[in-house]
Structure 1
Amino acid sequence: MRAADFYTGIVAEAYGPLRGDVVEAGPYLDFVRAEGEPALELGCGDVGPFLELVAAGIDVEGVDSSADMVRRCREKAAAQGLTATVHHQRMEDLALPRRFRSVYLAGATFNLLPDDATAAAALLSITRHLLPGGAALVPLWSPPPTPAEQIGRVREAVTEQGRQARFHVVGEEYDAAARTRTTHVRYRLDGPDGVQEADRDWVMHWYTDDGFRLLAEGAGLTVERVEVPADDERVVLLRRAGS
């Protein structure tokens, strides 16, 4: 299941409140200030750094493949009195009228691309949308199997609409050879209008260091720096040639 289909319906409402981690805006704000504007966030959703950068006065646009997430992001921007440009497109098929000094993904968004071919297309899209000499910041994650004790464990939160959201892992396939983890999850929303449930397949695809470098080089990008925040995490700075 692609991200455009995963983050829809009740999942779009429940995802933010149920999310286990928070992506801080600071590193992305620092990146854009260092590399220059305009900037582009891929997979901006309705939570994360994007609106914080808009509020900070950064010339930044957002892209998301989920129509529901794009709508929610625009609504949140309007509620905060912000003017935000958000595009509904897949990053592997990106076709925007503007070119950017900085492109970034927040968190492990790139891992939502289901295979190397889609990743190669997305990297080529990034190259096409970078100005000469521009940079892209791509966090990557190599996910472990979900621990057995977490399967079936229910996570709960209250959405902005006041509905009770629940989430749990139903099962999982972990294919180390294909570098793909498919986690079967169930979302539930309880509210005055009754109970709604949605089953989704959460697909995460990961990369070896050499494999990602080859994909980037094939798209015309150079790996300039790799940070290693943890054994299973990489933050890769890519550069398009030119000045």
Structure 2
Amino acid sequence: MSAYTSLEALLHDAFWADEGEPVELAMLDELLRGHPGPSLEIGCGSGRLLLPLLQKGHVVEGLELSRDMLDLCRNAAEALGLAPVLHEGDMTVFDPGKTYHSLLLPAFTFQLAPDPAAALAHFHRLLEMDGLLYLSVFIPMAELHRELPEGEWYEDHRTSLPDGRAAAVHTRHRLDRKNRVLEREHRYELLTADGKVESEHLSSQTLRWFTPRQLRGLLEKAGFEAVHALADFDPEFPVDDEAQIVTVVARKRPPGTLGARAAGPPKKKKG
């Protein structure tokens, strides 16, 4: 059950569109304006973030494992008069023969890496010295707190399509709490106007999650220092153990230097 192919790829943007303008777009735009230079978005998918960044004048290439998603990205880019540089490949072994000024891993892409430590070490090699790494990760609070039934199918999302049909995705999950692994199965359905299933597609994915402290440790061991971190996409929220989403900007540091601790939870004041 491959991820981000077939019906899953086709319906991907329809589900995201219900969320409104991507909250990470403004963050990435600000980051690249303050740190201009050739960048790579890892897991660019259909171009939901990549194409708007190109429209804003940033120099960003895209890397994506799914050929179906890349086809959607090329079609969308052509309609906008854009010609992005796109690469098909696995983020853990991708070798373009050059380095980048920044690497962008929005939308929890990093959590799909089967070996997070090895992935970060590889990203370190893809960056220029003082290059920046942007990534966002989430903790599956609803699953951990048993707000969603483990091992049972439930409707995750449903949306209406412009042609009168509807789309739905049902999810079933399993948690490995000890190793912090979330296994998900998805059943994507395309529905006729009267609610009958026209076609469906099954996919699965394995995600890993980290506490802020664990993420900080992984970054430091890979040769990064965290220079900025925020919780739940809100700069006023502290990055502590209550954060559901953690976004980090880290810098590739020179060999032999110590990393910062911006990604870890702040010390609590006494009293």
Q: Normalising by the residue count of structure 1, what TM-score does the alignment of the two structures yield?
A: 0.86
Q: Does 1:207 align with 2:210?
A: yes
1:87-102 matched pairs, under 5 angstroms: 87-102=87-102
Q: Does 1:107 align with 2:107?
A: yes
Aligned 8 A contact 2:36 2:58 in 1 = no
1:55-94 matched pairs, under 5 angstroms: 55-94=55-94
Give identity over the alignment, percent. Answer: 26
- For residues 187-223 of structure 1, give each alpha carbon's deviation from its aligned partner in whole angstroms, at most 9, with x where no partner exists: 112469x822112223221012232223223322222
Per the alignment, residue 265 of structure 2 pairs with none
Give secondary structure in 2 for the equivalent of 1:91. coil
Quick one: which amino acid aligns to residue 155 of structure 1?
H
Match of 2:229 among 220, 226, 229: 226
Q: How many residues align?
A: 234
Quick one: which amino acid aligns to residue 176 of structure 1?
R
Q: Which has the higher contact order (CA 8 A, sep 6+)?
A: 1
Distance 1:43 1:162 in 2: 30
Distance 2:227 2:218 in 1: 14
Question: Structure 1 stretch 35-44 or stretch 195-204: which is displaced more?
Answer: 195-204
Structure 2: 5+ residue stretches without partners = 238-242, 255-271
Distance 1:77 1:218 in 2: 38
Cα drift, residue 111 of structure 1: 1.7
Cα drift, residue 160 of structure 1: 7.1
Q: Does 1:185 align with 2:208?
A: no
Structure 1: 5+ residue stretches without partners = none
Per the alignment, residue 135 of structure 1 pairs with 132
Distance 1:205 1:161, change over 3 A: farther
Aligned 8 A contact 1:93 1:121 in 2 = no
Q: Does 1:235 align with 2:247?
A: yes
Aligned residues: CA RMSD: 2.5
Q: Does 1:13 align with 2:10?
A: yes
Aligned 8 A contact 1:157 1:164 in 2 = yes
Cα drift, residue 97 of structure 1: 2.9
Aligned 8 A contact 1:48 1:106 in 2 = no
Aligned 8 A contact 2:175 2:182 in 1 = yes
Quick one: which amino acid aligns to residue 55 of structure 2?
A
Give secondary structure in 1 for the equivalent of 2:220. helix
Per the alignment, residue 168 of structure 1 pairs with 170
Distance 2:207 2:98 in 1: 29
Q: Which has the higher helix share?
A: 1
Distance 2:128 2:35 in 1: 11
Distance 1:17 1:238, change over 3 A: same
- For residues 65-116 of structure 1, give each alpha carbon's deviation from its aligned partner in whole angstroms, at most 9, with x where no partner exists: 1111111111110111111111111111121133211211122121222x4x
Aligned 8 A contact 1:16 1:47 in 2 = no
Q: Which has the higher strand share?
A: 1
